[in-house]
C-alpha cells in the first residue's frame, strides 16, 4: 500500500463547493450529465491518442461508460474505460480550477449569488457537482498504458481537503463512486437514472450503459454471476444522424452539452456537405451572449472532428472573429487525423471550410432576420457589437454583413427601435443620394446634436451611431447598394443641395459683403485654432457648430485613438455660424473688439463642448458665461 497524501483544495475550489452544496444547484440531477460528459471526453481523448499509439487500448477498444447503484451503501458508480488520469492530473483536475474563466466568474458571483445562479452551469464546475448529492466521492483511475500499480485513488468529503494515493488498478480508465447524502436516495432507482440519461446524454456517441437489476437478471437466467448492462442512449453521434430523425429537444440538449450554455440555442443549421470538401457541420447561434463573448482572446471556435474522432475544442480557425459567438462542430472527412492546432492555421481545407461556414452562418442569420424582425432585434442586442467587427475583418462578405446591421435612427423615438439599411434606403426622401449618419458618445448626444436641426426639420432620416466600434466600422463601409454613406458632421455638398441651401442663402449684395467682413473678423480672432469660418446652412436653434472637412479625421475617430493610447492628429475644425440666430446677430453689432472676441470665444467653446462632450478647461468657460451674463444685465 502506498503512502496516503492529504492535500487541501485550492481556495477557489472550496468556494465553489460551498456555493454548490449550499444553494446553487436547484437542478441536482445534472451531476450525472457532468460525469457522463467527462467519461465521453475521456473516451474521445483515448481514441485520439490511440491513433498514433494503439497500445493505449490495452487490447480493448470497445469504449463505454457503465452506471450502477447500490442501495445497501447508498452509492452510485460511474465507470469509464477512457484515458484515465495520472497522479499529477488528478491533483490538477480534481483539486484546482484550471480555467481562468471559472475563477473570474467566482470572483464576480460573490456579490450577487442569487442573480447568477443560472450562470454557474456555464463554467466548468462539472466534476465538483458530484458533491451536491454526495457526502463522499471516491475516484479510482489509471492512465491508459500505465502499469497496473500506477493507479490513483482520490477521495474527499468535499470539505476542504482530499486524500490521494497510488493503488493497483487493472482496468484503465476512471471509476467514480458517489456515496449519497441521506436525503438523496431518490437517485437509487433504475427508472430515475434512465430518465436522466435519456434527458441529457442521448446525443453522446459513447454508449451509456446501466446495470440490469438483480431481479431482472434472476428472471433471465437463474442467479447470473456476471453483470448485464443495458445501453440506454442512442450512442450515435447526433450530427451523423439524419436531420429528420432529430427532435428539437435533442438539438437543444446537444447544444447545451457542446456549449456548456444553460440557455437554449436561438437557431441552428445542420448540414452535410459533399463535393470537393466533405464534411458535416452543426452550427448554433446562442440566445444569450456569454458574459465574456466580447473578449476576442477568450476561448471560442468550433469543435473539430475528423471522421468522427474528436480532434480538438475551440478551433478558432474555422470561424472569422466577428462570428465568434457561434457554437458548434465540424466533422471533416478530408483532414488528416493527426492535424494539430499549428497546422490548422495554414491548411487549405480549413480555409475552404471556413469560407463556406461563414457563408452559411451569414445566410442563417439573414433568414432569421427576415422572418422574425422582433426576435432579430434581441439577437442584435446580444451580438450586434461583435458583428460590427465584420466589415473590417471580412471585406468579401461586406454586402451580406451590411444587411445584418441595425441602427438607431432619428425617425424612431427610442434607442431600441432599430432599423436596417434596407429600411433606411427604402424611405429616403426624393433626391436624397446618400445615407446620412452621425456618430457620438451616446444615444442622447447623437440624437440631440445640433448638426441634425435642419435635417429633422426637412424630414431627412439620420442614423445615430454611438457604439465605440461604430466610427471604426464606418471607415470600412463606403456604400450600401451603391448609395454612399456620409457623416453629417462633415462638410458635404450633397446635403446643401438636398436642403436647397442656395435659396436660404439668397441675400442682398451689400449684406453679403458685410457678412464676409464679419466672417473674416471671427477668423482673425480664432486664427489657426480653426480651419475656416463658414456660414452654416444646417442650423436652426444653435448659434454655431464645428464640422470637419470630408478628408479630415472625425472627432469620434480621434477619441478612439485616444482610448487606445495612440496620439491622434489635432483636428482643425470648420467653425460654422448660424447668421439667423439672435446671438450671432447680436455679435454682428458689437464694435468693441474685446467684447467681440469674448463672445466669439464663448461661442467657440460652446461648439467644442457640443462636439467633443468635454472642454479642456471648463472653469474658464463658466467664468466667461457668468461675465457675459452680468454684462448683459447691467
Q: Judged by CB under 6 A, does residue 80 bind ligand ADP?
A: yes
Question: In angstroms, what is the C-alpha Rg of the chain?
Answer: 34
Task: Tell me if 16 sits within 8 A of 97, measured CB to CB.
Answer: yes
Question: Which listed option, ligand ADP, Mg ion, none, makes contact with residue 280 (CB within 5 to 8 Å by class)?
Answer: none
Phi and psi at residue 271, to the nearest 5°: -140, 145
**Among all chains, which residue has been given the C-alpha cell 480672432?**
525
| Residue closest to Mg ion when measured from CB atoms | 126
Cell triple for 456:
429633422
Of 22, 33, 52, 81, the residue nearest 339 (C-alpha): 52
Smallest distance, ligand ADP to C-beta of residue 177, A: 12
Smallest distance, Mg ion to C-beta of residue 127, A: 6
Which residues inside 27-66 make contact with ligand ADP, applying CB under 6 A? 34, 38-39, 41-42
Scanning 121-129, 224-232, 356-364, 605-613 for contacts with ligand ADP by CB under 6 A, the matching segment is 121-129
Residues near 191 by beta carbon (within 8 Å), at least 6 away in sequence: none
Let me know if 426 is exposed, middle or buried by CB neighbors in 10 A (0-12, 13-18, 19+): exposed
Q: Which of 84/328 has CB closer to ligand ADP?
A: 84
Of 275, 347, 291, the residue nearest 315 (C-alpha): 347
| Residue closest to ligand ADP when measured from CB atoms | 126
Scanning 79-87, 295-303, 369-377, 582-590 for contacts with ligand ADP by CB under 6 A, the matching segment is 79-87
Scanning 118-126, 289-297, 455-463, 597-605 for contacts with Mg ion by CB under 5 A, the matching segment is 118-126
Task: Tell me if 122 sits within 8 A of 262, measured CB to CB.
Answer: yes
Smallest distance, ligand ADP to C-beta of residue 109, A: 17
Task: Tell me if 472 sits within 8 A of 439, measured CB to CB.
Answer: no
Scanning 81-89, 207-215, 425-433, 567-575 for contacts with ligand ADP by CB under 6 A, the matching segment is 81-89
Q: Judged by CB under 6 A, does residue 85 bind ligand ADP?
A: yes
Q: Judged by CB under 6 A, does residue 259 bind ligand ADP?
A: no
The neighbouring-strand residues paired with 284 are 268, 327
Question: Which listed option, Mg ion, ligand ADP, none, makes contact with residue 95 (CB within 5 to 8 Å by class)?
Answer: none
Scanning 123-131, 176-184, 549-557, 622-630 for contacts with Mg ion by CB under 5 A, the matching segment is 123-131
Of 223, 222, 193, the residue nearest 36 (C-alpha): 193
SS (H, E, C) 468-494: CCHHHHHCCCCEECCEEEEECCECCHH
Q: Which of 127/294 has CB closer to ligand ADP?
A: 127
| CA 254 – CA 258 distance, rounded (Å) | 6
Which residues inside 462-501 make contact with ligand ADP, applying CB under 6 A? none
Scanning 56-64, 83-91, 195-203, 495-503 for contacts with ligand ADP by CB under 6 A, the matching segment is 83-91
Q: Judged by CB under 5 A, does residue 126 bind Mg ion?
A: yes
Q: Which of 14/490 has CB closer to ligand ADP?
A: 14
Phi and psi at residue 573, to the nearest 5°: -85, 160
CA distances, 94 to each of 38, 130, 154, 178, 547 (Å)? 12, 11, 9, 15, 61
Smallest distance, ligand ADP to C-beta of residue 612, A: 47
Q: SS3 of 192, please?
A: helix
Polymer length of the chain: 634
Q: Judged by CB under 6 A, does residue 83 bind ligand ADP?
A: yes
| CA 403 – CA 399 distance, rounded (Å) | 7
Q: Which of 82/543 has CB closer to ligand ADP?
A: 82
Q: Judged by CB under 6 A, does residue 174 bind ligand ADP?
A: yes
Question: Which listed option, ligand ADP, Mg ion, none, makes contact with residue 102 (CB within 5 to 8 Å by class)?
Answer: none
Q: Which of 36/533 has CB closer to ligand ADP?
A: 36
What DSSP string runs through 49-113? HHHH-GGGGTT-----EEEEEETTTTEEEEEE-S----HHHHHHHHHS---HHHHHHHHHHGGGH
Q: Which of 85/465 has CB closer to ligand ADP?
A: 85
Q: Which helix (H) or strand (E) holds 226?
A: none
Of 85, 68, 76, 66, the residue nearest 154 (C-alpha): 85
Q: Judged by CB under 6 A, does residue 544 bind ligand ADP?
A: no
Scanning 77-85, 251-259, 333-341, 441-449 for contacts with ligand ADP by CB under 6 A, the matching segment is 77-85
Cell triple for 398:
461586406
How many CB atoms lie under 10 A from the CB of residue 582?
A: 9
Binding mask 126-145 for ligand ADP (x = CB under 6 A): xx------------------
Scanning 124-132, 190-198, 313-321, 433-441 for contacts with Mg ion by CB under 5 A, the matching segment is 124-132
Question: Which listed option, ligand ADP, Mg ion, none, makes contact with residue 42 (CB within 5 to 8 Å by class)?
Answer: ligand ADP
**H helices then E strands: how many in the chain?**
25, 22
Binding mask 10-49 for Mg ion (x = CB under 5 A): ----------------------------x-----------
Q: How many residues bind ligand ADP (CB under 6 A)?
A: 15
Cα atoms found within 13 Å of the Cα of residue 62, Cβ hemisphere only: 3
Smallest distance, Mg ion to C-beta of residue 290, A: 17
Q: Which helix (H) or strand (E) holds 137?
A: strand 134-142
Smallest distance, ligand ADP to C-beta of residue 564, A: 34
Site of interaction with ligand ADP (CB under 6 A): 34, 38-39, 41-42, 80, 82-85, 93, 124, 126-127, 174
Residues of the shown chain interacting with Mg ion in the complex, contacts defined by CB under 5 A: 38, 126
Amino acid at each position: 500500500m502506498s503512502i496516503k497524501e492529504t492535500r487541501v483544495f485550492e481556495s477557489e475550489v472550496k468556494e465553489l463547493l460551498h456555493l454548490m452544496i449550499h444553494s446553487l444547484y436547484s437542478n441536482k440531477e445534472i451531476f450525472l450529465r457532468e460525469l457522463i460528459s467527462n467519461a465521453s471526453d475521456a473516451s474521445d481523448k483515448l481514441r485520439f491518442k490511440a491513433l498514433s499509439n494503439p497500445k493505449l487500448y490495452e487490447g480493448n477498444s470497445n469504449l463505454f461508460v457503465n452506471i450502477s447503484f447500490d442501495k445497501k451503501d447508498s452509492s452510485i458508480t460511474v465507470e469509464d474505460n477512457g484515458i484515465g488520469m495520472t497522479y499529477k492530473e488528478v491533483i490538477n483536475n480534481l483539486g484546482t480550477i484550471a480555467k481562468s474563466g471559472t475563477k473570474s466568474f467566482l470572483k464576480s458571483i460573490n456579490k450577487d449569488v442569487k442573480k447568477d445562479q443560472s450562470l454557474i452551469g456555464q463554467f466548468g464546475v462539472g466534476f465538483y457537482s458530484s458533491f451536491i448529492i454526495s457526502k463522499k466521492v471516491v475516484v479510482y483511475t489509471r492512465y491508459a498504458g500505465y502499469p497496473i500499480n500506477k493507479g490513483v485513488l482520490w477521495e474527499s468529503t468535499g470539505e476542504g481537503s482530499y486524500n490521494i494515493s497510488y493503488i493497483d488498478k487493472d482496468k484503465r480508465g476512471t471509476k467514480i463512486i458517489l456515496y449519497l447524502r441521506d436525503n438523496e436516495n431518490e437517485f437509487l432507482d433504475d427508472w430515475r437514472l434512465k430518465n436522466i440519461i435519456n434527458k441529457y446524454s442521448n446525443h453522446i456517441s459513447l454508449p451509456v450503459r446501466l446495470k440490469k437489476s438483480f431481479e431482472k437478471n434472476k428472471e433471465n437466467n437463474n442467479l447470473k454471476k456476471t453483470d448485464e448492462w443495458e445501453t440506454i442512449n442512442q450512442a450515435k453521434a447526433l450530427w451523423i444522424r439524419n436531420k429528420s430523425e432529430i427532435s428539437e429537444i435533442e438539438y437543444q440538449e446537444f447544444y447545451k452539452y457542446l456549449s456548456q450554455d444553460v440557455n437554449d440555442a436561438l437557431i441552428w443549421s445542420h448540414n452535410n456537405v459533399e463535393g470537393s470538401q466533405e464534411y458535416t457541420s452543426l452550427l448554433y447561434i446562442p440566445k444569450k451572449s456569454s458574459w465574456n463573448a466580447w473578449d476576442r482572446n477568450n476561448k471560442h471556435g468550433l469543435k473539430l472532428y475528423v471522421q468522427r474522432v474528436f480532434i480538438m475544442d475551440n478551433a478558432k480557425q474555422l470561424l472569422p472573429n466577428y462570428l465568434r459567438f457561434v457554437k458548434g462542430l465540424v466533422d471533416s472527412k478530408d483532414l488528416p487525423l493527426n492535424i494539430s492546432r499549428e497546422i490548422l492555421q495554414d491548411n487549405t481545407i480549413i480555409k475552404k471550410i471556413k469560407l463556406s461556414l461563414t457563408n452559411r452562418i451569414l445566410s442563417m442569420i439573414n433568414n432569421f432576420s427576415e422572418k422574425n424582425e422582433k426576435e432579430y432585434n434581441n439577437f442584435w442586442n446580444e451580438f450586434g457589437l461583435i458583428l460590427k467587427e465584420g466589415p473590417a475583418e471580412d471585406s468579401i462578405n461586406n454586402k451580406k454583413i451590411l444587411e445584418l446591421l441595425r441602427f438607431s435612427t432619428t425617425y424612431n423615438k427610442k434607442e431600441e427601435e432599430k432599423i436596417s439599411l434596407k429600411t433606411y434606403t427604402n424611405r429616403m426622401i426624393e433626391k436624397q443620394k446618400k445615407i446620412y449618419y452621425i456618430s457620438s458618445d451616446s444615444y442622447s448626444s447623437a440624437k440631440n446634436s445640433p448638426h441634425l436641426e435642419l435635417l429633422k426639420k426637412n424630414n431627412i432620416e439620420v442614423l445615430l451611431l454611438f457604439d465605440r466600434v461604430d466610427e471604426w466600422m464606418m471607415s470600412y463601409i463606403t456604400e450600401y447598394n451603391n448609395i454612399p454613406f456620409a457623416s453629417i458632421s462633415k462638410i458635404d455638398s450633397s446635403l446643401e443641395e438636398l436642403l436647397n441651401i442656395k435659396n436660404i442663402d439668397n441675400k442682398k449684395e451689400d449684406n453679403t459683403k458685410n457678412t464676409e467682413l464679419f466672417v473674416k473678423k471671427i477668423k482673425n480672432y480664432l486664427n489657426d485654432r480653426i480651419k475656416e469660418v463658414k456660414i452654416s446652412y444646417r442650423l436652426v436653434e444653435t448659434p454655431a457648430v464645428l464640422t470637419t472637412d470630408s478628408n479630415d479625421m472625425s472627432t469620434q475617430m480621434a477619441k478612439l485613438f485616444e482610448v487606445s493610447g495612440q496620439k491622434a492628429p489635432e483636428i482643425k475644425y470648420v467653425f460654422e455660424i448660424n447668421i439667423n440666430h439672435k446671438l450671432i446677430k447680436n455679435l454682428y453689432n458689437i464694435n468693441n473688439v474685446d467684447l467681440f472676441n469674448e463672445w466669439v470665444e464663448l461661442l467657440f467653446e460652446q461648439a467644442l463642448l457640443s462636439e467633443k462632450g468635454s472642454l479642456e478647461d471648463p472653469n474658464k468657460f463658466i467664468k466667461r458665461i457668468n461675465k457675459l451674463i452680468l454684462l448683459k444685465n447691467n
